[in-house]
Amino acid sequence: MMAGVDLVMVHYRGSFFPDLLGGQVQVTISPIRGRAIKEASVYAAIRQGKAKTGMAEELARRIKDGAIPIISDVEGFMAYYLVYAPDDTVTAISIFNNYAAAEESNRRVLAWIEQSLRPLLAEPATAMAGPVIVHTLA
């Protein structure tokens, strides 16, 4: 406890996410080597694009009406966040309970983005998926 932090290691057989959401666990740390990645409990699918000037509101409306139903229909879906930065960068973060679902959500929604959002974007959207290795909630 040199830094004033007291950590207790708890091994979970299943997902620790319910305890994290419920406030019983304040922080989690997952190793990123070898099979630990395959055993992560939470996976993120992240898409990012740059909106044309003045298009952020319309972009958000279309995402709410079109992308969220597509993404939330993927089995394993847990949560969705859309973040807007002052430079018109829009980042969508979806949380899943398995890696295949995170990848599938990107596959499905990238096709929709190209068809439905392309006129509102200054450049093509990018996507990635992977395990969430550190997360915390208040």
- Note the pLDDT tens digit of each residue in 31-55: 544 444 445 689 999 999 999 998 9
User: Which pLDDT belongs to residue 133?
Assistant: 87
Classify each residue of 54-79 as buried b or exposed e, where b means 16 or more C-beta atoms within 10 Å of its C-beta.
ebbeebeebbeebbbeebeebebbbe
CATH 3.30.70.100 describes domain 42-131: yes
Given a cut of 50, the residues of the chain with pLDDT beneath it are 1-2, 32-38
**Measured between alpha carbons, how far is residue 75 from residues 42, 48, 99, 101, 108 in Å?**
13, 22, 11, 7, 13
Domain edges within the chain: 42-131
Q: What is the pLDDT of residue 136?
A: 80
Q: For tokens 């830094």, name the residue.
A: 3
